Structure 1
Amino acid sequence: MPIPDRRAHPYALAAVSSLAQALPGMAALSVATQLRQLVGMGLARLPRPGAGSTLQRWQALSHVAQHSLSLAKLYEGHCDALAILLELGHDRGETNETWAVWAAEVPGQRVQVLPRGDSGLAKLSGAKAWCSGAQGVSHALLTAWRPGLDQSQLVAVELGHASIRMNTGAWQAVGMADTLSAEVAFDATPATLVGEPGDYLRRPGFWHGGAGIAACWYGGTLAVADSLYRGMRGQSSEHPAFAYRAAAFGKVDRVLAGMAALLRESAAWIDANPHADAMATALRVRQAAEAAAHCVLEETGRALGATPYCRDAAFARAAADLPVFIRQSHGYRDDAALASAVLAQENYPWAL
């Protein structure tokens, strides 16, 4: 593990250490139960990004993802929700609530929000797709739309309300199957307005949170690479397969070392520039993490063959989950957006 930044909040360092101790004993539990336990132990209230401990926040996300990508999906969503609520003036304090963030928009399918005067309260109607953790969390932040406005409104909702219906029939995933995802329908469901229309995308923390996803992808990539690492550590150089496995391991090592360095550099930049536009930083680290994941999946599979896919449950799960999780990237579209963001900057981007 990298030497912690001296500015890091002591709680952040303790959380990383405590997560490493707590997670192995939770493997047999459902991801929803694991999340509730982490919340109850105080291990899911991380320092918000851009406040001096971004690297330690990302280390926590990576630890959880290396343990379970499905849990990481819920854990990152919960931690992101708390950071958003804090940033927009709705800090929840110390509670045992578990949260999700649902901001994906499906063409032709929008949740409508009708504010109730100036009370800060509202009613929701319509259906939201791609709701990770819907069956396992107590609350959600989601984007909804006010009549006549072209910017989304963030709202908070308690998921135990009787007006809410969940449809799990469309979720047919094999990878990330344990994320308890669903389509969620609202029918005059009470909600609380969070910020003003457009605040979700406008706030600096939007790209900070987006960059944090790369730490989850990195942790999941480590879960795949670990099988190759263990195999090489225990294999004699006289073994017939040693040479080509060593070549794969060397490629994996340089990719992961470069990815870790970029994560550390990106976290430091965000902490040093908490109010700056972090779009280029976030897209760069996300796209690099996606590329690293593809490389490690390919090289590890070619080096080890079918055995870990069939006889190593942890590897098989990570190898199934990781390709699904990294598709949260928008692929070539994000590469093009990164190009536009970098070219809009005045400084030369690649000086050492």
Structure 2
Amino acid sequence: MLQRAPDDALLQLQLRHGGDLALNHLVDARIDALPQPGAGQTLARWRVLAEVAAHDLSLVKLFEGHTDALAILAELGGAPETPAGASWGTWCAEPPDARVTLDAHESGRVRLTGTKAWCSGAAKVSHAVVSCWNAAGDPCLAAVAMDQPTVWVTENGWYAVGMAASGSVDVRFNRAVATPIGQPGDYVNRAGFWQGGAGIAACWFGGLLGIARMVQQRKGPKPDAHRLAHIGAIDVALTAAAAQLREAAAWIDEHPKDSAQRVALRARLVVEQAANEVIHHAGRAVGAGPLCRDPRFARAMADLPVFLRQSHAERDLAALGQFAANEQEEPSSWTL
């Protein structure tokens, strides 16, 4: 359980480290000791993610992966012995040109071989939860330590300016020793899969919250009507997204064992739409100055559009629409 407000803890860390925070700072300060998704304090978990994101989107990309790994290990078991202060990545993207295979090994261990893409923080984390495939073609999970000579962190796979600090590169395994987590198929079949997917929306929300805060700080002593209109549009977008996230967190806590796919898709899409609105209005509200002269504002405006593409865009809209189309009557979520 959180012992103090996340914004206070983050503020103290920022002051201590001159605002230049890293994943190990959050881990050492135990800010990663978040409530489990669906355990009654999902909103408190998301508030921490949002505050980290408001500070730095690349940092929250690593922090969310670390806390997601901890949640997976708690839910499925099979965690290896790890030293205090271990930092984790969660690398479960499955592009068709990068696949990791799992082979049985002695003493219940396994060996991983292949290339894993989109490995955020690969050069910084000490351990990772990795999706892989066994000999029967079943999807599996394994925990792997990164300090093995059979694990190579490449410099390939990331050329974008946005989210560059996340270090999301390819990692190659050559029979690296790992520990299996859960049973084949558990990763996507567990309740926490979509609960964690909804948590990504909290990270996006934190990104647009950080931008909105910087816009408000630059409103000037006497903002004109045009700037006020942009701030008003940002207020509308933020308020709608925050309400949707609160509703989603409450639903997850009330239905901890149920699939949260529909709830997660709706939350992600609402926040994505809000983020697009905030990006649109933020640049117009403050002009070119902060985009060119304020590194934090410029970085956030470059990072957020890239981070949002973790969404599957129209595919997610179609999946959400399918839920509504399958209902015999008007969806209850459409009524006040």
- Do the structures match in fold with TM over 0.5? yes
- Alpha-carbon deviation of 1:154? 0.4
SS of 2:334's equivalent? coil
* 1:270-285 matches, cutoff 5 A: 270-285=252-267
Match of 2:180 in 1: 193
SS of 1:221's equivalent? helix
Distance 1:351 1:110, change over 3 A: same
SS of 1:71's equivalent? helix
CA distance in 2, matches of 1:339, 1:84: 29
Residue 22 in 1 paired to residue 22 in 2? no
Q: CA RMSD in A?
A: 1.8
Q: Deviations over 1:294-330 (max 9, x none)?
A: 1111111122221110121210110011111111001
Distance 1:345 1:194, change over 3 A: farther
Residue 236 in 1 paired to residue 225 in 2? no
Match of 1:38 in 2: 26
Residue 248 in 1 paired to residue 230 in 2? yes
Q: Deviations over 1:95-144 (max 9, x none)?
A: 31000000111114310100226x43101111111111100000000100
Match of 1:5 in 2: none
Distance 1:338 1:120, change over 3 A: farther
> Does structure 2 retain, via aligned residues, the 8 Å contact 1:166–1:184?
yes
Which residue, out of 100, 106, 122, partners 2:95?
106
CA distance in 2, matches of 1:235, 1:28: 26
Which 5+ residue runs of structure 2 have no aligned equivalent? none
CA distance in 1, matches of 2:132, 2:7: 34
Residue 77 in 1 paired to residue 61 in 2? no
CA distance in 1, matches of 2:55, 2:121: 17
Which residue, out of 202, 206, 218, partners 2:205?
218
Which 5+ residue runs of structure 1 have no aligned equivalent? 1-8
Residue 259 in 1 paired to residue 241 in 2? yes
- Alpha-carbon deviation of 1:170? 3.0
SS of 2:170's equivalent? strand
Match of 1:331 in 2: 313
- Alpha-carbon deviation of 1:28? 5.4
Residue 303 in 1 paired to residue 282 in 2? no
- Alpha-carbon deviation of 1:231? 2.4
> Does structure 1 retain, via aligned residues, the 8 Å contact 2:117–2:157?
no
Question: What is the letter of the counterpart of residue 161 of structure 1?
Answer: Q
- Alpha-carbon deviation of 1:235? 2.8
Which residue, out of 258, 271, 295, partners 1:313?
295
- Alpha-carbon deviation of 1:47? 1.0
Match of 2:119 in 1: 131
Q: Which moved more, 1:292-301 or 1:163-172?
A: 163-172
Residue 49 in 1 paired to residue 37 in 2? yes
CA distance in 2, matches of 1:309, 1:128: 34
Distance 1:343 1:260, change over 3 A: same
Q: Equivalent pairs: percent with the same residue?
A: 46
Q: Deviations over 1:242-295 (max 9, x none)?
A: 111111111110110111111111111111110111001101111111111111
SS of 1:328's equivalent? coil
> Does structure 1 retain, via aligned residues, the 8 Å contact 2:6–2:51?
no
CA distance in 2, matches of 1:46, 1:288: 24
Distance 1:214 1:199, change over 3 A: same
